[in-house]
A and B are shown apart, each in its own frame.
Chain A
Amino acid sequence: MSRADTKTRLLPAGPAPREHPIPRADAEQLRFRVEIGDIAVCLLFLAVAAWFYVTAANIPDYSGTFIGPDDFPRGLALIFAGFSLALLGRAVLLLLKGGYDGEWVLVERPLRVAAGMVLLALFPFLMEHIGFYIAMALWLPAFFVVADYTRPITVIVCTATFIAFTKVVFEMLLGTPIP
């Protein structure tokens, strides 16, 4: 077993050895150290754990038993915060250490991914306000464009087929009330 493998095992949660040269970020790529991602995720998790812990105090306990409805989430929140802190501490230590031979988080075509997220979040909003069929007729071609597929005939045919499929299978056959 190589020294690099050994290093990974000694630090189970640590960075894997770099097998390729450090990836170069360009306009079509977002690149940052995995520890930065860890710190962001752990801070978010700590906030989640804190919210659960604090909010659990407002849960009324009429049980009269050893473990009430608030105890389980509180206990879990504490353990969750503990593990998140451990991961956070490890990431901070690695970040402060000089030199870097670890993993990188790579997001290819970040603008498309961000646009995809925005479109995803937009869909339920559109569906709520203009109904499923119109929302889908607008949303699906937009998603095709974000997904880098721009042949108009195919986009129109796919959108129309999907809407017809929804109408026939879900609304007419399965009786799903489509708004």
Chain B
Amino acid sequence: MFDGFVLGLAAFSSLAVWGGLIAGVVIGYVVGALPGLTAGVGMALLIPFTFGLDPIVSVVMLVTLYMASEYSGAIPAILVNTPGEPSSAITALDGYPMRLRGEAGHALTLSILGSAVASLVSTVLLIFTVGWMTRFALAFGPAEYFALAVLGLSLISTLSGHSVIRGFVALLFGLILTTIGTDPVDGVPRFVFSDGFLSGVPFISALIGLFALAEVLKMLETTNVPAVPLKDIPGITGQIGMLLPHRNNLIRSTLIGYVIGVIPGAGASIASITAYTVQKRFSKSPKTFGTGNPEGVVAAEAANNACLPGALAPMLALGIPGKTSTAVLVGALAIHGIQAGPLIFERAPEVPYSIYIALLIGMPFMVLLGLFGVRLWIRLTQVPKGIIAAIVCATCLLGTYAEGNEIFSIWIAVAFGIVGYALEKVDIRPAPIVLALVLGYLMESNFRRALVMSGDDMGVFFSHPISVICLVLAAIVFVLPLIQNIRETRRAVTAD
């Protein structure tokens, strides 16, 4: 390991590598902040520019772009309720209400510092546990994935807010939408009344519609109301101190993000949702989640940023790209004749160690850019609402188109925007719908695959240890909040 680090550090003696690192951070910052442009898309778009570069420069640039875009997705999520990255949708649940109270600076500071610490800790975990975590990831078969999806969906009883039935209705609405598209096992089209639905309901478009366009419609109701005055944010030292009360939350969410990141296909959105819900369970003020609780911002941001180094573990050690972004990275390495997988540590050790060092060194750059940027970003909240509504709406429509290069995606975003606005009016929140859109396909496809592989034996879900643990946890996570709710109700009745 020491020799590998020496090789990696030697690579950083080149100015070109430093240039790649800074360019990656800056481009990632912009890509993440633009709704519709995900880290994977940004990396794919950058690849043609890296053909002529040294492999280390291109890998460092792509990895830092990935890292910065995961963070900067929180900026529009907090400022205008528009998730720049899908996983930032969870950050918006509390970040945006904070901004409405004039606490945009506080929310942005927590998001950058939470992201930074989580990313650093997660990178250190990656360096020391890459081998173990890879074996853990390999233990996941269809039964385990199904159980993981059920565990994720069981969070509904915590995410529902004050009305469980509305939460369920929203979840089922999202779940039924995930059955649209080509069947995951037999390949037959289901409910495909337009070719655009062949690969399912476009997730990014749905997300932009549910959060951003619905928010724009809400803004139209209050464009005549002046902006909330900004609350002061302290200097840089004071900003760093803001994170101290959240250290336990940060550690928990980082670990959740890292472990979920390792599992191929699980992703930052699942990590954010899980960490958010776990924090809600541990919080002393769980009822304020969704109304601007800073703990929610820290949990979501720490988890989705900790996910990134986790996702690199199976990619580096096995060559398995668990996500679009890591798939692009595998492709970028292949272009330079480097094969990701077990032999990379022997044949090109400077590559994985350069990635580790890039993550460790790139983070301070990102923090500086983020902390100084906070003062600029919060000024945006003082711009008249009419301008913000129009520009956000136009950016979302453009971003939605750019994500799939088809007008169909815009139709979907518009439809989800109008439906999302109408549903919010009757207190049906977007979070359960997003939970379903993230997990529905994972649940159905792996449920059926597990049954096919076991010859229709339902016992398959109870014969694998990881699957059993996840299902038991799911039952606890689902039932516990309901029982607590009933107990509180009874206690309240008695007290009354």
Q: Which residues of A contact B (CB under 8 A)?
A: 1, 3, 5-6, 8-10, 12-14, 16, 34, 37-38, 41-42, 45, 48-49, 52, 55-56, 59-63, 65-70, 72-73, 76-77, 79-80, 83-84, 86-87, 90, 103, 105, 107-109, 112-113, 116-117, 120-121, 123-124, 127-128, 132, 136, 139-140, 143-144, 146-149, 154, 158, 162, 166, 170, 174-179
CA distance A76 to B153 in the complex (A): 14
* Contact A12 B165, beta carbon cutoff 8 Å: yes
* Contact B223 A148, beta carbon cutoff 8 Å: yes
Chain B 150-185, CB-CB to A under 8 Å as 1, else 0, gives 000000000000111110110011011001000101
* Contact B179 A120, beta carbon cutoff 8 Å: no
* Contact B176 A76, beta carbon cutoff 8 Å: yes
27 contacts between A and B (CB under 8 A): A6-B489, A9-B489, A10-B489, A56-B190, A62-B188, A63-B186, A69-B186, A69-B190, A72-B447, A72-B448, A73-B190, A73-B191, A80-B175, A83-B168, A107-B425, A109-B220, A112-B221, A113-B220, A121-B414, A136-B394, A144-B386, A144-B390, A149-B387, A162-B394, A174-B37, A174-B45, A176-B401
* Contact A48 B220, beta carbon cutoff 8 Å: no
CB distance from B4 to the nearest CB of A (A): 35
Given contacts A5-B492, A83-B169, A143-B394, contact A148 B386 (CB under 8 A): yes
CA distance A66 to B223 in the complex (A): 55
CB distance from A75 to the nearest CB of B (A): 10
Most chain B CB within a 10 A radius of its CB, from A42, A49, A140, A174: A174
Given contacts A6-B489, A124-B414, A143-B390, contact A65 B456 (CB under 8 A): yes
Give the residue of A16, A105, A175 whose beta carbon is less than 8 angstroms from that of B425. Answer: A105
Give the residue of B191, B398, B485 whose beta carbon is less than 8 angstroms from that of A55. Answer: B191
CB distance from A153 to the nearest CB of B (A): 12
Report the tally of A-B residue pairs with Cβ distances under 8 A: 201
Give the residue of A12, A108, A148, A177 whose beta carbon is less than 8 angstroms from that of B485. Answer: A12
Give the residue of A14, A120, A158 whose beta carbon is less than 8 angstroms from that of B417. Answer: A120
* Contact A174 B402, beta carbon cutoff 8 Å: yes
CA distance A6 to B485 in the complex (A): 11
* Contact B220 A73, beta carbon cutoff 8 Å: no
* Chain B residues whose C-beta falls within 8 Å of the C-beta of A55 in the assembled complex: 191
* Chain B residues whose C-beta falls within 8 Å of the C-beta of A176 in the assembled complex: 401-402, 405
Count residues of chain B with CB under 8 A from any CB of chain A: 70
Given contacts A1-B496, A124-B407, contact A117 B418 (CB under 8 A): yes
Known: A3-B496, A108-B222. 9 other contacts (CB 8 A): A5-B492, A12-B162, A12-B165, A13-B166, A103-B427, A117-B217, A117-B421, A143-B394, A175-B45
Give the residue of A1, A77, A105, A162 whose beta carbon is less than 8 angstroms from that of B176. Answer: A77
CA distance A37 to B423 in the complex (A): 9
Given contacts A6-B493, A116-B217, A120-B418, contact A45 B169 (CB under 8 A): yes
The chain A residue with its CB closest to the CB of B396 is A120
> What are the 9 tightest A-B residue pairs by CB atom distance, in nearest-first order?
A149-B386, A108-B221, A147-B386, A37-B426, A73-B179, A66-B456, A80-B172, A69-B183, A13-B165
Given contacts A62-B188, A158-B387, contact A67 B448 (CB under 8 A): yes
Give the residue of B169, B213, B387, B426 whose beta carbon is less than 8 angstroms from that of A144. Answer: B387
- Is there a chain A Cβ closer than 8 Å to B393's Cβ? yes
- Is there a chain A Cβ closer than 8 Å to B350's Cβ? no
* Contact B414 A170, beta carbon cutoff 8 Å: no
* Contact A68 B492, beta carbon cutoff 8 Å: no
* Contact A1 B495, beta carbon cutoff 8 Å: yes
The chain B residue with its CB closest to the CB of A143 is B390
* Contact A8 B162, beta carbon cutoff 8 Å: yes
Q: Which residues of B contact A (CB under 8 A)?
A: 37, 45, 162-166, 168-169, 172-173, 175-176, 179, 183, 185-186, 188, 190-191, 213, 216-217, 219-224, 384-387, 389-391, 393-395, 397-398, 401-402, 405, 407, 410-411, 414, 417-418, 421-423, 425-428, 444, 447-448, 451-452, 456, 485, 488-489, 492-493, 495-496
* Contact B220 A9, beta carbon cutoff 8 Å: no
The chain A residue with its CB closest to the CB of B30 is A169
* Chain A residues whose C-beta falls within 8 Å of the C-beta of B395 in the assembled complex: 162
CA distance A80 to B423 in the complex (A): 15
* Contact B176 A48, beta carbon cutoff 8 Å: yes
Given contacts A52-B179, A107-B221, contact A123 B426 (CB under 8 A): no
* Contact A49 B176, beta carbon cutoff 8 Å: yes
CB distance from A104 to the nearest CB of B (A): 10
Given contacts A116-B216, A124-B407, contact A149 B223 (CB under 8 A): yes
CA distance A39 to B203 in the complex (A): 28
* Chain B residues whose C-beta falls within 8 Å of the C-beta of A116 in the assembled complex: 216-217, 220
* Chain B residues whose C-beta falls within 8 Å of the C-beta of A107 in the assembled complex: 221, 425
* Contact A73 B425, beta carbon cutoff 8 Å: no
Most chain B CB within a 10 A radius of its CB, from A13, A127, A128: A13
CA distance A66 to B405 in the complex (A): 39
* Chain A residues whose C-beta falls within 8 Å of the C-beta of B422 in the assembled complex: 41
* Chain B residues whose C-beta falls within 8 Å of the C-beta of A166 in the assembled complex: 398
* Contact A80 B173, beta carbon cutoff 8 Å: yes
* Contact A68 B186, beta carbon cutoff 8 Å: yes
* Chain A residues whose C-beta falls within 8 Å of the C-beta of B401 in the assembled complex: 127, 132, 176, 178
CA distance A94 to B234 in the complex (A): 50
